[in-house]
Structure formats: C-alpha cells, structure tokens
Amino acid sequence: LLVVLNDNEYSISPNVGAVSHWLSHHLSGPTFNMLRRRIKAVLAAHPRLGERTLHWMRRAVESAKVMFTPGILFEGLGFQYVGPVDGHDLSALLAILQNVRELDGPVLVHVRTRKGRGLPCAEAEPSRFHGVGPFDPRTGELLAAAGPAPSYTEIFSRALVEQARHDKRIVAVTAAMPDGTGMAAFARQFPDRFYDVGIAEEHAVTFAAGLASQGLRPVVAIYSTFLQRAYDQLVHDVCLQRLPVTFALDRAGIVGEDGPTHHGLFDLSYLASIPHLTVMAPADEAELVDMLHTALRLEGPAALRYPRGAALGVEPRRRPRRLEVGRGRLVHHPVDQPRLAIVTIGTMLRPALQAAEVLERRGLPVLVADARFRKPLDERLLLRLADGCGRLLTVEENTLEGGFGQAVAACLQRAGRSGVALRMLGVEDCFVEHGRPGQLRARLGLDAGGIVKAALELAGGRRAARGA
C-alpha cells in the first residue's frame, strides 16, 4: 500500500480535534528546541562530565528529536515514512515514488506543496480559490456575475440564526464545512452553541443525536453527498430513537463543475427508506424558511434538501409559518379542463411552470402541483390529480431508483389506480459527470424543454415508466 500525503498546510476551515492539535503543536518544534537548548546549556556548564554521560545525553536528545518529527505518528500506525519531499520538484518526486514501489509493506510519502503555487492571487487567498469559476488570472477577479438573489445557503443561514434567537435549545453542528454550509454566521452569533466536529460526518450525526437526547434541538448542516457516509448513524442513532435532529442538506441535486462525487442525487431515495424521518424539499427560498421553521417544531427527525446557487427571488414571509406535514399544494390550474398533471418536488417547480406555459400555448392544458414532502407523501392530492386528469408526470432532481416518482407509482398501485398513465422524469441509473448545471439539466431532460417533451409524449398516449 502506497499513501501519498499532500501536505499543503491548507484546510477549507480551521482544523479541529486532538490529532490536528498534536501535529500543529509538536511539529512546529518549540518544545523540542527548548529541550535541546537546555541540554546544551547543561553540557556547557559542566565540561567535566564523563564521556558516558555525554553519550547518553546525546542519545536522549536524538530520542526527543524522533518524538517530534512528522514520521513518528505514521510509523506508529505501521507505515514506513518517507519525507518530507518537495512536491513541486517533479523529477525528484517521481524518482522517490519509483523507489518506494520496491519497498515491502505500507509506505507513506509525505509531500510538501503550496496551494495555488504559481498564481499570486491564489497563493494569497487559497480559500477563495479552492472551488472557483472563471476568473481573471491577472487580477484574481471572479468573472461569474452575481445572481440577482442570495443563495439558498445564505437564506438558510439567516433563517437558522433567526430561529436560534427565539429558541435557546437550537444548536448547530457541521463537519468541517462552516463556510460552505452557511454555519459560520451562526458560529459568530452563538459561539457556545456551535460545534464543528471536523471531517467526520458519522460523528456529526451521532453527536447531534446525543445533544437531542438531552433536550436540545440540533441542526446538522451538511452537503447531501456527504451525508451518505453517515447512513448507519442516521438509522440507528437518530431515527430509531426518534430524536428531534434536523438535517439541512445543502448542494442537493445537480451541483455542477465539482462532478459526480458532489452531486446530491440520492438523498430523496436513501432518506425516505428510513422510518420516522420526515423528508422535505422546498421549491424556493420562501418554502425553505417555512420548512426549517416546521422541522424545528417536530417531535422527531426531519431533513430538508436544497440546491447550490442563487435562489429564485421569492421573498420569505416576515414570520415563517408551520407547514402541515405531508401536504402538497396545487400551484397552477389552467382555464380549460386539464389533460395532464405535472407533480414536482423541490426546485423542479420553476421549470415545470415554464413548461406549463409552453404546453398551454400548444393546446395542452396542464395542472402543476408542488409535492413539498417526499415523506410522508400527500396521497390525497396525488389521487385527486390522478382521478381528475388520468395522466401524471413526476419531475425530480434525484435518481429515479427509489425516488419520488417511484413512490407516486407505489401510491397509485396501492389505491388501485392501474389505469392512470404515469411518466417519471429524473436521473437515470447512472453517475452524472461534471458540467454546468443548466447544461446537465438539459441533457437529463430536467429543464422546461425536457418537461414539455415528456408531457407531449405522455398526452399523446405513449406511456412510459422511465425518463425522457
């Protein structure tokens, strides 16, 4: 086993934890240097000490030095330690990597690099250039235009701080992502109620469960894709105990250039499989605020998922309202008798409304409904739409496997509505590559054009159980 440690002395957020403290404290060397100076002073003050004494004192110095070198931690874990190596000297690095291939057993190569090396603006502000879009390399100025509305993350951050002002039981937990999840504002306002557990999502969930068991109302803000790491803790430590932990899943759905590791395309499926967990997906920022307000007043666990990027510009209410759990809403009703109902969950509502305008101009009147809840489903609304239209088109920014559409299909089957034509739009059984979110949605049929195409095919009698 060969492990390459890229040590660029950088982390997105301040490091936490005992190991980090040990490394930063001891590897900086002040303790060892002080010990060495004192031993030298003793030797200088007693020149007549015997050679044997001098020998053992020098051995003590060398032993102390070993204790404070980087390799001691890794060698204690069973690795052969090699380094540190200059990671920017490619020829030397390649030679070392070639040599260590011949060693037996696990080897760790400690490589020192500088984040952003060669680009002054990136070296000066590594956090700003960690995940960045187009920019001017001469000035470092970001070229992407700011959105007309604040991001969903910012909306969540403000709403959480406001909720915490009125309820001292609310505490915030994150796994080394206070900035990315919007928790930094909470930490500034309520430092004694904020916990960063480091890159340990499993611990974040179990830690939140412990807080909830003692009467607190923890909110765990985490990227959708990273919560997958803590599925076991979700099941056993939170949901089995019915503890009131709120999970705020940022970066749900298509994320964009970060690629397949960061798309949040499975949460509606894996979360809905867990008993006692309420799963919500806001269509806009106003619903996000209302859903956070609702989740913090439930007796059990809840999760709400929202995307990356700018929100839609829908002004949240001055006083958020508590939503009725498991109840969707009818958003658009055409003048003429609808021939089809489009049922969306989450931010797919906006493109569905755009598609409805196009469809009605083409002579196909449609209903549009916002499900709001993945679990529990609003079965009463779904059956009413099925009976009234006879055709349902579900749209979700999530995998089709175990997703919202399949839950609707199961609802229809249980109710004996086998004659209802159903089409499901979502992500097929695949990993989505990186790309611009708009382009990816268009490719997946999850934009207005894709919804129009699927609706026309469904209304024309082509019944399908999968995506476009």
- Supply the residues annotated as catalytic: 115, 201, 229
Going edge to edge, which strands form the sheet with 373-375?
A: 194-196, 170-174, 217-223, 246-250, 302-305, 278-280, 373-375
Return the HEC string of 82-150.
Answer: EEEEECCCHHHHHHHHHHHCCCCCCEEEEEECCCCCCCHHHHHCCCCCCCCCCECCCCCCECCCCCCCC
- In degrees and rounded to multiples of 5, residue 83 shows phi and psi of 140, -170
Which pair of structure tokens corresponds to residue 438?
């708009």
Query: Is the CB of residue 364 less than 8 Å from the CB of residue 464?
Result: no
Strands 107-112 and 80-86: parallel
Angle at 290 between CA 287 and CA 294, to 5 degrees: 130
DSSP for 350-365? HHHHHHHHHHHHTT--
User: In the numeric block, which tokens belong to residue 238?
Assistant: 């939170």
DSSP 37: H
Picking from 428, 436, 430, the residue whose alpha carbon sits closest to that of residue 468 is 428
**Closest Cα partner for 239 from 196, 279, 201?**
279
Distance of CA 448 to the CA centre of its chain: 26
Q: Return the structure tokens found at 306.
A: 């929202």
Residue 21 makes CB contacts below 8 A (sequence gap 6+) with none
How far is Cα 218 from Cα 195, in angstroms, rounded to an integer?
10
> How deeply is 380 buried, as exposed, middle or buried, from its count of CB atoms within 10 A (0-12, 13-18, 19+)?
exposed
Tokens of 62: 């060398």
Beta 340-344 vs 278-280: how paired, if at all? Answer: unpaired
Count of CB atoms situated within 10 Å of the CB of 337: 8
CA distance 284 to 312: 6
Instruction: Write the CB contacts of 1 (distance below 8 Å, at least 6 apart in sequence).
Output: 105, 106, 107
